[in-house]
Amino acid sequence: MNFKFTKWHGCGNDFVIINGLEENIETIQPQAAAICNRNFGIGADGVITVCPSENADFCMRIFNSDGSEAEMCGNGIRCFARYVYEAKLTTKSEMTIETKAGIMKPKIIASGDDVLVTVNMGNPVLQADKVPVAGFADKTIISEEIIVDNENFHITCVSMGNPHCIIFVDDINAVDINKWGPVLEKHQIFPNKTNVEFVQVLNRSKLRMRVWERGAAITLACGTGACATLVAGVLNNLCDRQASLQLDGGLLSIEWNESDNNVYMTGPATKVFEGKYSG
C-alpha cells in the first residue's frame, strides 16, 4: 500500500493525514494500526482521511491507533482544517466539515505569528441514553457515584459526538491513569466504551486535564475531551463557561456559549512533516 501523507499534531495529539481526493484510501482502516505504530509505522494517535462530501466542503474520517473508527476528534479537526487550507484544497478560512458526529465549522485565525483554529463543536449531549450510558434512561449524569474494583468514582458523562466520562480529582498526579483508564473505558455501563478524563480544578478559569482515549490509550491531548470537561465543570459548578484547559501537550481555550448552547474550542494545529508510505 503506497500513499503520500502529511503528519500534523494539535497539542501533541498527532495524526497522519491522507488526501483521499487524490490517494486510494479504500484499505486505510485495516492498515490504520500498522500506520500508527510508533516502532514499525509512521507513528500517530490516528489516521485522518480527506473525503468528498455532498453536505459540506469536505468529509473527515478518523481511525484510532487500534483501527477503530471515531465519530469525531477535536484536535484532529483543527489539523484537518489547516491542512486542507494550506494544501490549497480550499480558499475558505471558515469551512464546513462533515463527520460522523455531524457537520463541524472550523475557522482559521491568525494571531500574531501563531495560527489558531476555532471550531464550533455544537451542542453537548447530556441525556444518558444518548451519550450513551446504560441504566440511567434519559437522566443527566452529574457526579454519579460508581464503584470499580472497590474504588469509588464520581462521574459526569457528556457526549461531544463521542462519549466522555469526566472525573474530578484533588491531585491529578496521584491518579494511575494506566490502571483506571482502560477499566473505566470498558465498563459495562458504556455500551460503546468511553473516553475518560481526569481533571483537577486549578481555579474557575483554568483546569488541568489528562485523558485516556477510547481506542488510543493515553494521549497528550483530546479536543472533544476538553470540551466535555468544560461542560462537566459548569454542570458541577466548578468552573466558568469559558476556561483554559492545560493538557499534557498544550493549552486549549474552551467556551460553552450560553446563548446558542454551542461549545467552541480554540487551539493550535501544527504541521510536522510530509512523506510517502510504502507498507
Annotated binding site for substrate: 13, 64, 74-75, 162, 195, 213-214, 223-224
Which of 73, 79, 157, 165 is catalytic? The answer is: 73
Query: Is 59 known to be catalytic?
Result: no
Nearest by Cα to 77 from 115, 121, 109: 121
Q: Judge contact between 252 and 244, C-beta under 8 A.
A: yes
Interior angle at CA 165, CA 8 and CA 221, nearest 5: 20
Nearest by Cα to 163 from 134, 201, 206: 134
Which of 36, 59, 222, 239 is catalytic? The answer is: 222
* Exposed/middle/buried for residue 87 (C-beta within 10 Å: 0-12, 13-18, 19+): middle
Query: Is 73 known to be catalytic?
Result: yes
Q: Which residues are known binding-site members?
A: 13, 64, 74-75, 162, 195, 213-214, 223-224
How do 2-10 and 58-64 pair as beta strands?
A: unpaired
Coil vs helix vs strand at 85: helix
Q: Judge contact between 8 and 44, C-beta under 8 A.
A: no
Number of neighbouring beta carbons within 10 Å of residue 160:
29
Catalytic residues: 73, 222
